[in-house]
């Protein structure tokens, strides 16, 4: 396998000490390895946490402050410091870098999503290593859950990366939380399917500076593998671990960390955006016939198969599709929740009579839909 385009995510716990002071040897070693990978002819994007941790030291906090505004203040102070340090090391090793601050809601907006792609692609074409972090000043949820893991996965789908390496303070995913003083834990070296059993293994954060723990890394792995990107969780602090991980992955070995394999083909960029970046605003529940048509026969959703509508949404909004028990997909609707309430169960040629006007035959067209079990879409 050839991994040309690689996204590397590094956690706060790898870049800083428990007291919030930055670990310069670690940042130096990471920068050197990133430039080595670039000099091997690869395209590299770094998603780096560590702004809050860097700011903690600067503003005199020994522990992560409890309030979100204080954490945001730390991030604002720390982000500049962090990027300055990366810049220094990258320049020393002969590479250029750029700062990109981005939030999940930026990626929900189709134009911003495509703008982010265009900027990243142009930077890569110039041989620059983009350094991405969440724009912590304007978000609160991401700070609470440590969304850089999922942000890195979304970015890896956005740029159509071949590999996402998530460097952490653990060697990979264990069959239990090492934080909970579990003994005799086993490292899972390869995950072919992210089953419920795998999800249950993941617990919360392990250090005073990390956020989200293994839970957010498993969520990230789901996004990555469904976007056609292999993801590896590996030890950030082990000497030359990043170089070793990339070499190992190219040789299809599984000696270091945990590798999440891609089971399916990459979703198209538009379907990735719909599936992983757009939060649903409502739910449409369909009958068994419609569920079968969507799951097995690649059909669009017509009003006749709809039994229930939940939430309030407009035409053009994203919704989930459920068979009443399980979520079977996601799509963008051609009718509002009020309109669907009126036309549900009806034949498409009755829409005009019921509403007094006609928009589209389908409530959700196949092109605007991602269905979980539908192999040809992955
Ligand atoms: N099953 C598990 N296997 C490995 N680590 C786990 C597991 N469950 C929870 N963890 C915790 O997740 C931590 C890594 O996540 P986190 O603290 O957010 O670090 P980072 O800053 O690298 O994102 C580990 O230190 C570990 O304590
Ligand atoms: N944006 C925050 C990091 C949030 C986060 O995801 O942290 P981590 O779990 O260390 O990757 C910061 O730079 O401090």
Q: Over pLDDT 70: what percentage of the chain? A: 93
- Residue 10 Cα: closest atom of ligand 2: 11
Check if 134 has its Cβ closer than 6 Å to any atom of ligand 2. Answer: yes
- Residue 213 Cα: closest atom of ligand 2: 9
Q: How far is the CA of 101 from the centre of ligand 2 (A)?
A: 13
Structure token digits, residue 258: 């945990």
CA distances from residue 321 to 181, 334, 343, 344 in whole angstroms, order as listed? 41, 14, 16, 14
Q: Which ligand is nearest to the CA of 149?
A: 2
Q: How far is the CA of 69 from the centre of ligand 2 (A)?
A: 15
Pocket test for ligand 2, best of 14, 30, 49, 213 (most atoms within 8 A of CB): 49
Check if 148 has its Cβ closer than 6 Å to any atom of ligand 2. Answer: yes
Minimal-distance CA residue to ligand 2 atom 4: 146
Q: CB–CB of 195/266 below 8 Å? A: no
Tell me which residue of 329, 315, 317, 318 sits closest to 285, measured CA to CA: 329
Q: CB–CB of 100/15 below 8 Å? A: no
Q: How far is the CA of 116 from the centre of ligand 2 (A)?
A: 20
Confidence band for 179, pLDDT divided at 50, 70 and 90: confident
- CATH classification number, 280-377, choose in 3.40.570.10, 3.40.190.10, 2.30.130.10, 3.20.20.70: 2.30.130.10
Check if 16 has its Cβ closer than 6 Å to any atom of ligand 1. Answer: no
The yes-or-no verdict on residue 374 having pLDDT over 60 is no
Residue 363 and residue 340: Cα distance in Å, rounded? 8
The residues spanned by each domain of the chain are 5-270, 280-377
CA 283 from chain centre, in angstroms, equals 23
pLDDT at 18: 72
List of long-range contacts for 373-377, beta carbons under 8 Å, 24+ apart = 373/295, 373/328, 374/294, 374/295, 374/298, 374/329, 375/264, 376/298, 377/267, 377/271
Q: How far is the CA of 79 from the centre of ligand 2 (A)?
A: 11
Instruction: Encode pLDDT of 94-144 as tens digits.
Output: 999 999 999 888 888 888 888 999 999 999 999 999 999 999 988 877 666
CATH C-level class of 5-270: alpha beta
Q: Which residues pair with 168 in a beta bridge?
A: 235
Instruction: Encode pLDDT of 150-159 as tens digits.
Output: 999 999 999 9
Confidence band for 285, pLDDT divided at 50, 70 and 90: very high
Phi, psi of 5 (to 5 degrees): -105, 120
Q: Are strands 43-48 and 5-10 parallel, antiparallel or unpaired?
A: parallel
Q: CB–CB of 358/346 below 8 Å? A: no
Instruction: Encode pLDDT of 17-67 as tens digits.
Output: 877 788 999 999 999 999 999 999 999 999 999 999 999 888 988 888 889
Query: Residue 58 in 3-state DSSP?
Result: helix
Check if 173 has its Cβ closer than 6 Å to any atom of ligand 1. Answer: yes
Q: How far is the CA of 187 from the centre of ligand 1 (A)?
A: 13
Q: Which residues pair with 319 in a beta bridge?
A: 331
pLDDT at 143: 61
pTM of this prediction?
0.84
Instruction: Encode pLDDT of 62-88 as tens digits.
Output: 888 889 999 999 999 999 999 999 999
Confirm or deny that 236 is annotated as ligand binding: no
The yes-or-no verdict on residue 208 having pLDDT over 70 is no
Query: Residue 331 in 3-state DSSP?
Result: strand
Structure token digits, residue 249: 């992955």
Confirm or deny that 171 is annotated as ligand binding: no
Minimal-distance CA residue to ligand 2 atom 11: 11
Q: How far is the CA of 144 from the centre of ligand 2 (A)?
A: 9
Confirm or deny that 168 is annotated as ligand binding: yes
- Residue 74 Cα: closest atom of ligand 2: 14
- Which of 177 and 34 is assigned the larger pLDDT? 34
Instruction: Encode pLDDT of 327-361 as tens digits.
Output: 999 999 999 999 999 999 999 999 999 999 988 99
Confirm or deny that 216 is annotated as ligand binding: yes
Tell me which residue of 200, 87, 76, 205 sits closest to 138, measured CA to CA: 76
Residue 50 and residue 52: Cα distance in Å, rounded? 6
Give the chain's mean pLDDT: 90
Give strand ranges (E) for 204-326. 230-235, 258-260, 283-286, 306-310, 318-322
Pocket test for ligand 2, best of 10, 11, 12, 210 (most atoms within 8 A of CB): 12
């Amino acid at each position: 396998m050839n991994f040309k385009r690689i996204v590397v995510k590094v956690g706060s716990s790898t870049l800083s000490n428990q007291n919030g002071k930055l670990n310069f040897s670690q940042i130096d070693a990471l920068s050197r390895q990133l430039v080595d990978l670039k000099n091997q002819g690869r395209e590299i994007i770094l998603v780096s946490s560590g702004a809050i941790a860097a700011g903690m030291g600067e503003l005199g906090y020994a522990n992560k402050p409890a309030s979100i505004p204080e954490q945001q203040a730390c991030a604002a102070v720390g982000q500049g410091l962090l990027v300055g340090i990366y810049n220094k090391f990258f320049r020393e090793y002969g590479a250029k870098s750029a700062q990109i601050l981005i939030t999940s809601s930026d990626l929900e907006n189709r134009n911003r999503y495509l703008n982010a792609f265009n900027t990243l692609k142009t930077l890569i074409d110039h041989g620059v290593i983009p350094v991405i972090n969440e724009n912590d000043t304007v978000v609160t949820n991401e700070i609470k859950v440590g969304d850089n893991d999922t942000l890195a996965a979304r970015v890896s789908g956005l740029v159509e990366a071949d590999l996402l390496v998530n460097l952490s303070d653990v060697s990979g995913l264990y069959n239990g939380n090492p934080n909970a003083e579990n003994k005799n834990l086993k490292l899972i070296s390869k995950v072919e399917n992210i089953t419920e059993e795998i999800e249950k293994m993941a617990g919360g954060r392990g250090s005073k500076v990390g956020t989200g723990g293994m839970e957010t890394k498993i969520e990230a792995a789901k996004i990555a593998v469904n976007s056609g990107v292999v993801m590896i969780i590996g030890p950030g602090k082990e000497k030359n671990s990043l170089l070793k991980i990339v070499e190992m992955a190219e040789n299809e070995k599984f000696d270091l960390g945990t590798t999440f394999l891609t089971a399916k083909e990459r979703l198209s960029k538009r379907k990735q955006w719909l599936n992983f970046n757009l939060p649903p605003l409502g739910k449409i529940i369909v009958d068994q016939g419609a569920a079968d048509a969507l799951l097995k026969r690649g059909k669009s959703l017509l009003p006749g198969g709809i039994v229930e509508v939940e939430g309030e949404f407009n035409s053009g909004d994203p919704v989930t599709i459920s068979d009443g028990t399980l979520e079977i997909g996601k799509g963008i609707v051609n009718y509002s929740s009020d309109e669907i309430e009126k036309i549900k169960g009806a034949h498409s040629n009755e829409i005009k009579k019921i509403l007094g006007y006609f928009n589209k035959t389908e409530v959700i067209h196949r092109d605007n839909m991602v269905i979980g079990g539908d192999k040809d879409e992955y």
